[in-house]
Every structure is written in C-alpha cells, then in structure tokens.
Amino acid sequence: MVIRRSWFVAPMLIALLAACGGQAAAPTAVPTLAAKVEVEGGTYSNLTPTQLADMLKHKDFFFVNVHIPYEGEIDPTDARLPYDQTAQLLSQYPADKNAKIVLYCRSGRMSSIAAKELVKAGYTNVWNLDGGMSAWQVQGLPLKER
C-alpha cells in the first residue's frame, strides 16, 4: 500500500514544483522584531538582548528599569520605576498611550508584570527585554553600576 501511494505522490510533487518554476520561494527580507505576548487589554512585545542593542543605536523610546532592589542598569535608562508600583506610578510614564516604552529588570519576570499593567492601563506600544539584564550580560553586553 505504501509503495502505491509513493508512486502517486512523487509525480504530484514534480508537477507542483514545475508549476512554481521549480524553485523554492525566497525568504522574506523583513525580520521579525519581537514576539507578541497577549495579555488582558492587548499585547506587549518581548525583545532579545540583540534586538534591544540594535534599538538603542537609534533610541526613540522611554527606557525603564523596573527591578527592585537596584542591581545595575542598561545605559541609557530614562527612569527607575518599581514594577510593583506600576499602576500607582502611571503619571511617571509618558502621557501618550501610544508612546514606545521599553521595560527591563534582572530576569524579565518583574518587567513582564509591569508590561501587563501598562497594557491594562491602555498603553499600546510596550516592549519587554526577555530574560532581562541576565540575558543582556550573557550576550556580553555591559551593565552600568552605581
């Protein structure tokens, strides 16, 4: 039975390739920047350290360290706002709910909690450093100490 099916499948594949010009489709040139995370109220995006390093070359966002207690930071951080006070400190974030905001902490856990709070509050352009400062350092990227 398997032999009979394979003699039928092979000609079908050949015909399909011939109809497509015999070449596989070229990969798209648009890279995926970040992984979307669905949460209550919308989504936020997870960034890798490499993606964040590229974004920092042409920084156009509000950059926030939400880790408590202080354990260093990525230069050029704009603010240190504790993750567990995100809802109470919304006035410290940009008034424009469409402003790009990038959050980070030591491991990514606290910043993902803060990201959820911001999305819940209506922010639409929230980004999180996946793996936090730990992942940043594993990539050989520097942390600023006090």
117-138 residue pLDDT tens = 999 999 999 999 999 999 999 9
8 Å CB contact between 105 and 111: yes
Q: What is the pLDDT of residue 5?
A: 43
Give pLDDT, residue 112: 98
CATH homologous superfamily of 28-138 equals Rhodanese-like domain (3.40.250.10)
CA angle 50, 55, 61 (to 5 degrees): 135
The pTM of this model reads 0.77
pLDDT > 60? residue 21? no
Backbone angles phi, psi at 12, to 5 degrees: -65, -45
- Is the pLDDT assigned to residue 95 strictly greater than 60? yes
Q: What pLDDT, on a 0 to 100 scale, did the predictor assign at position 97?
A: 98
d(CA 53, CA 58): 9
Whether 94 shows a pLDDT value over 60: the answer reads yes
Mean pLDDT of 1-29: 40
Contact indicator for 123, 107 with CB cutoff of 8 Å: no
Write out pLDDT tens, residues 31-66. Answer: 356 799 999 999 999 999 999 999 999 999 999 999
Residue type, 25: A
pLDDT of 93 reads 98
Across the chain, mean pLDDT equals 84
For residue 70 the two structure tokens come to: 């202080």
